[in-house]
Each structure stands twice: as C-alpha cells, then as structure tokens.
Amino acid sequence: MILRTRKYKELEKALGHRFKNQQLIEVALTHASMRGGKAQKSDNERLEFIGDRVLGLVIAEALIERFPSASEGELARRYNRLVRGEACARVARAVGIGPHLILSESEAGSGGRAKGTILADAMEAILGAIFLDGGFEASRSVVRRLWDSQDDQHPPSASPDAKSALQEWAQGRGLALPEYVEVSRKGPDHAPRFTSEVRIAGCAPARGEGASKRAAEQAAASALLEREGVAGAESHE
C-alpha cells in the first residue's frame, strides 16, 4: 500500500491542526490573483470571511477571561490590536505561511509572499478552513495557542488606531457602533484599491481609500474623526 505524502505536513504541524480535508487548506492558501485560472476555480476570500468571525469570537472570549476588571474601552483596544491585519500577518509569518501561498506569477514576482495584507488574509482563511474541517473547538484551540503571546508583545498604546478611537468616541456619546461598508474595489487583483465607508447612526458617513479593506476602513475612521475634531488616533492598518 502506497501512502500519499501530505503536501502541507509542516504547515499543519506549525498550526497544530491536521486537516481531514486537504482541499480546505489548499483553498485557504489560494490568493484571489489565481481567480479565473483553468486549474483553480476557488480562492480564499470566502474562508477569510468565516475565519475573521471565528478569530473575533475567540479573542473576545480570551480577553474577558484574562482581564476580568478591564473596562470596555481597554478591552476594545486590546481586541482591535489582536484581530487587526498586522497581528494576523505576524502569526502568519511565525507559522511559515508565505512559502505555501498559491499566487499568480505576477503576484509572486512582486513579492506577494511577504505582503502583510496577503499573509493576514490567508491566516484568517486558514482559521476558517480549520473551523469547517474540525469545528469551533479545533479553531478555538489554534487561535488561543497562536495568539497567546500577541497581547503581551504588542500591548495597547496610549494612542489607539483610528477604528478603535472611533469606537470609543461613539460609545462615549451613546451612539451606535461604527459599521464599515466596502463601497468599491478597483484595479487588478495583484494591486487592488479599496474604498470603504464608515457609518454611525446620527452622523454623516465618511469614506477612506487603501490598498486593503482594512487600510480603507482605517482611513474612513480617521476621516470621520478628523471631521469631528477628534485628534490623536493612528490611521495606519
């Protein structure tokens, strides 16, 4: 009997999850630049959607447990730092996702394996794939282990990012939480340009642009804060 070699054995080891369905991890590693290819019919954007929600729930649960006396504002700052693209990209680099990414020749040639936004999206997609492959407990275990030291290494600063600052500003005035809507996406898959709009009931919306959805949302939040005369928030992703 010939045993098939597991293509992503080392990555599975680093993640701490052995996939029953190998197709899921392959799709999670497939960037949108491969869309339309004859050999590839799906990419990781749908899995990213799931993984983003899984990550958010697990991180929220972990923070409530770890900081029982923390205020909502402190929890929000810690939460946003742990789920933002930079944190996801750091984890992706730590487990070695880059070499396994499935990219178009143009994206790979432009350094796509090292791009923070691509790594962050792939990391979220892998979490989504783990959720579908092994259920919530499996994905929860992976997130808790891989994100365990992130909050200690990158504690919330006195100057929160724009999205965190906007959320605190809205909560402080008794307003609804901000909602972000992708207005448009232009340009080729390897160099997209996003426009996002932030909406808060009772306020005029604001828009921002960026090279990723996260960056566009940060820019939109920064624009609303600037319009309202709120200073001191970082607008980077």
**Per-residue pLDDT tens digits for 3-35:** 446 789 999 999 999 999 999 999 999 998 887
Residue-wise pLDDT tens digits, 74-93: 888 888 889 988 889 999 99
Residue 132: which pLDDT band, with cuts at 50, 70 and 90? very high
Residue 231 has pLDDT above 80, yes or no: no
Helix (H) or strand (E) holding 182: strand 179-186
Tell which residue, 11, 47, 45, has the closest CA to residue 129. Answer: 47
pLDDT band at residue 235 under the 50/70/90 scheme: very low
d(CA 219, CA 204): 15
Q: Single out the catalytic residue among 48, 52, 168, 237.
A: 52
Q: Which of 105, 120, 89, 98 is nearest to 33 (CA)?
A: 105
pTM above 0.75, yes or no: no
Per-residue pLDDT tens over the stretch 91-128: 999 999 999 999 988 888 888 899 888 999 999 999 99
Instruction: Give the percent of the chain with pLDDT over 90.
Output: 49
Q: Is 204 helix (H, G, I), strand (E, B) or coil?
A: coil
> Do the beta carbons of residue 231 and residue 165 sit within 8 Å?
no
CATH of domain 9-153: 1.10.1520.10
Distance CA 160, CA 162 (A): 6
Tell me the CATH number for domain 162-227.
3.30.160.20
Closest CA to 117 of 185, 212, 39: 212
Residue 86 annotated among the catalytic residues of the structure: no
Whole-number pLDDT of residue 226: 87
Find residue 182's DSSP bridge partners.
196
Lowest mean pLDDT among 40-49, 82-91, 131-140: 40-49
Is 168 a known active-site residue? Answer: no
pLDDT digits (tens, 9 = 90+) for 53-69: 999 999 999 999 999 99
Tens digits of residue pLDDT in 204-230:
999 999 888 888 998 999 999 888 887
Q: Given 48, 107, 124, 237, which residue is catalytic? A: 124
- Least confident span in 130-144, 151-165, 182-196: 151-165
Query: In this predicted model, which residue has the larger pLDDT, 1 or 14?
Result: 14
Domain layout of the chain by residue ranges: 9-153, 162-227
User: Of the candidates 156, 171, 14, which has an alpha carbon nearest to the alpha carbon of residue 74?
Assistant: 156
DSSP 236: -
Q: What share of the chain is helix, strand, coil (3-state, %, to 5)?
A: 55, 10, 35
φ, ψ for residue 145, nearest 5 deg: -75, -45
Task: For 173-198, write each residue's pLDDT tens digit.
Answer: 888 889 999 999 998 877 788 999 99
Q: Taking the alpha carbons of 53, 56, 59, 62 in that order, is the dihedral positive or negative?
A: negative
Q: How far apart are CA 183 and CA 186, in angstroms?
A: 10
